[in-house]
Structure 1
Amino acid sequence: MSGDWTVGSDGDRAWLAADGRRFACAIGRGGIRTDKREGDGATPVGRFPLRRLLYRPDRLPRPATGLPVVAIGRDDGWCDDPGHADYNCPIRLPHPARHERLWRDDPLYDLVVVIGHNDMPVVAGAGSAVFVHVARDGYAPTEGCVALTAADLLHLLARATTDTRLVVEAP
């Protein structure tokens, strides 16, 4: 199955519809916006391909999915510095520019779906590191990502292919 993952919000709660079901999810603390900018905490509106799945091999077996799969290593990061040439790209740590560490102490990046947001081409300041990942307890807001429980994300990943799209609808 390669149906789209559609994200929406009724103002109080966010949801992701796929596979004939509706899953609770978290979105960015800045809500859903059409004019995503670096640091605004918003989840961008759009239709995004699912590029690949990153996962923590020390915490999970390789997940079943139709997406390309890459194990996260201790020195993996993602550049979120709009003034650097590596902006919105995976990097190796240490790195001189501002970045996110993908190997985290908490479980948020145990599963990370890299989406095709601001990547072809990359535009400085238009937002970086917008992923689908594991949610915090209580679906606390993200910095602009979409987040689900690990169980729900694994369910969706098992049905995902390179034809699946993350569709974030304007409120």
Structure 2
Amino acid sequence: MPTGLRVLTVRARPGNPSKGILQAGPLIFPCALGRGGISAAKREGDGATPLAAMRILCGYFRPDHFATARRTRLAMAPIDADLGWCEVPDDRNYNRPVRLPYPVSHEYMQRPDRLYDACLVLDWNISPRRRGRGSAIFFHLARPDFTPTQGCVAVSARTMARLLPLLSDRTVVKVVR
């Protein structure tokens, strides 16, 4: 395994646009992609994973479920029960973390399905933020059967635990075709 990773390359599996392959240096891992496949014209609610090079900005983790998330060079914050992520394009906090309860539609970061037990924020539509270009594009944990995400890239908990020590805020998740 490499000592640090600058790029994680992600592509769809041939014949299955919502399942992918993530390359980390010489290693290959399965991943889940958005139900809408990969799109160069990402829009809010389309379920597509953006065709883009997205830097990892920071992350969130559940200390009670994924304590190994502390072993990384990324800024990681614990997920409390009142942490959400706004997904309403007209809201002033669109594509930003919010404190719950929040009056408009949002993601709950402390999910019962544990997909966000380790959740890294990608710089998709962060600065500048454009209404309707998509929100909450994360690199997070996948379901055991790698079913599609809402537009994120997701890997197994084991893969995430292997990658976290090698990631920094200089690492880029590059989604290609």
TM-score, length basis structure 2: 0.93
- Runs of 4 or more above 3 Å deviation: none
How many residues are matched? 170
- Give the letter aligned to residue 41 of structure 2: D
Structure 1 unaligned regions, length at least 5:
none
Shift of 1:161: 1.3
Q: 2:155 aligns with which of 142, 148, 169?
A: 148
The reply to whether residue 15 of structure 1 matches residue 21 of structure 2 is yes
Q: Does 1:49 align with 2:52?
A: no
Q: Report how far residue 104 of structure 1 moved.
A: 1.0
Is the aligned partner of 1:133 residue 2:127? no
RMSD: 1.0
1:56, 1:72 within 8 Å by CA — same for their partners in 2? Answer: yes
Give the aligned partner of residue 110 of structure 1.
117
**8 Å contact from structure 1 (residues 55, 62) kept in 2:** no
Q: Using the alignment, how far apart are the partners of 2:59 and 2:142 within structure 1?
A: 16
Identity of aligned residues (%): 41
Aligned residue identity for 2:10:
V
Preserved contact between residue 27 and residue 145 of structure 1 (Cα < 8 Å): yes
Name stretches of at least 5 consecutive residues in structure 2 with no aligned partner: none
SS state at 1:123 partner: coil
Cα shift at 1:62: 4.8
Match of 1:86 in 2: 93
> Deviations along 1:88-117, whole A, 9 cap, x unmatched?
000000001110100111110100010100
Structure 1 Cα separation of the partners of residues 169 and 42 of structure 2: 24
Q: Which residue of 2 aligns with 1:25?
A: 31
Q: Give the match for residue 65 of structure 2.
A: 59
The aligned residue for residue 2 of structure 1 is 5
